[in-house]
């Protein structure tokens, strides 16, 4: 009979321990990180995309997602960029360039990701906030593939046409859309059309965002063929170039096809590919690679 009493005592101790754990969680609260409340235009719109709805139901059953962004400007690099300026290119001390994609996520983002994966190339995606909300699974796919997510404002409106408070909301709410998915913080912003001024750039910096424009405009947004898009890159590329491409805002099939021309050709010229933050950290911009905008 003694062994039986010992077993009962052990079971009782386990029960008391379990009750204690439950009580502690009630008092101290859950260990899961709190959800990020989205504000501004995100909270104001009631539109829900098909992907957003499907992603929400999947994410609800999934473990808490951790921040996946591994790209950010180093403090010394940030300190070298005047508050009123935008970055046009990197210093060019290394034979590297940055491919950047604007206006997504969209239905063309995943084909772009597939093309980049074929060549093991990382890029930077300047996302529009409302599209980031409409395509959350695609946004995660970009981050999961090791690319940099950056801010391209909420609605792609020319910032200089807005009062300062609205400019702030356009940038801040897009950062919230990225951070709210556990994929931030974004540390770069690209003003739509490259249109900005010193005050807007200073505002961006106050939000923790460094304005970045580009040194090569592929003009893929004008409906060029893949061959012409590629030619525009190859004609102007040099170490430190920041290349403007698009994965949203229209039919981007030519852009997707152009990547199979651009990347192999540049690799033959011994170029390497980096995210914008990695490019700038390795080779900070000189004074002639800074400007107000484009």
Catalytic-labelled residue, pool 147, 152, 246, 247? 246
Q: Annotated catalytic, 246?
A: yes
Q: Give the number of other Cβ atoms within 10 Å of residue 146's Cβ.
A: 16
Q: Annotated catalytic, 147?
A: no
Burial class from Cβ neighbours inside 10 Å (0-12, 13-18, 19+) for residue 287 reads exposed
Catalytic-labelled residue, pool 85, 102, 176, 247? 102
Q: Is the separation of the CB atoms in 262 and 224 below 8 Å?
A: no
Instruction: Enumerate the active-site residues.
Output: 102, 246
């Amino acid at each position: 009979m003694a062994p039986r009493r010992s077993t009962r005592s052990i079971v009782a101790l386990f029960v008391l321990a379990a009750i204690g754990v439950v009580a502690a969680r009630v008092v101290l609260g859950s260990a899961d990180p709190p959800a990020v409340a989205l504000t501004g235009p995100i909270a104001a719109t009631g539109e829900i995309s098909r992907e957003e709805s499907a992603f929400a139901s999947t994410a609800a059953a999934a473990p808490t997602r951790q921040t996946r962004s591994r790209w950010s400007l180093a403090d010394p690099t940030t300190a070298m960029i005047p508050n009123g300026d935008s970055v046009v290119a990197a210093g060019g001390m290394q034979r590297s360039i940055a491919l950047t994609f604007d206006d997504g996520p969209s239905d063309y983002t995943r084909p772009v990701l597939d093309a980049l994966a074929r060549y093991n190339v990382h890029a930077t995606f300047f996302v529009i906030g409302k599209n980031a909300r409409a395509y959350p699974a695609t946004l995660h796919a970009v981050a999961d593939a090791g690319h940099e997510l950056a801010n391209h404002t909420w609605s792609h409106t020319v910032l200089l046409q807005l009062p300062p408070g609205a400019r702030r909301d356009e940038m801040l709410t897009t950062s919230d859309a990225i951070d709210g998915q556990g994929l931030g913080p974004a540390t770069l912003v690209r003003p739509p059309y490259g249109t900005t001024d010193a005050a807007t750039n200073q505002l961006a910096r106050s939000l923790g965002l460094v304005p970045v424009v580009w040194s090569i405009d592929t003009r893929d947004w004008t409906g060029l063929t893949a061959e012409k898009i590629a030619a525009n890159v190859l004609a102007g590329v040099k170490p430190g170039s920041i290349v403007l491409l698009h994965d949203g805002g229209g039919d981007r099939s030519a852009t997707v096809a152009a990547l199979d021309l651009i990347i192999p050709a540049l690799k033959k010229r011994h170029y390497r590919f980096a995210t914008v933050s990695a490019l700038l950290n390795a080779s900070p911009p000189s004074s002639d690679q800074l400007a107000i905008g484009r």
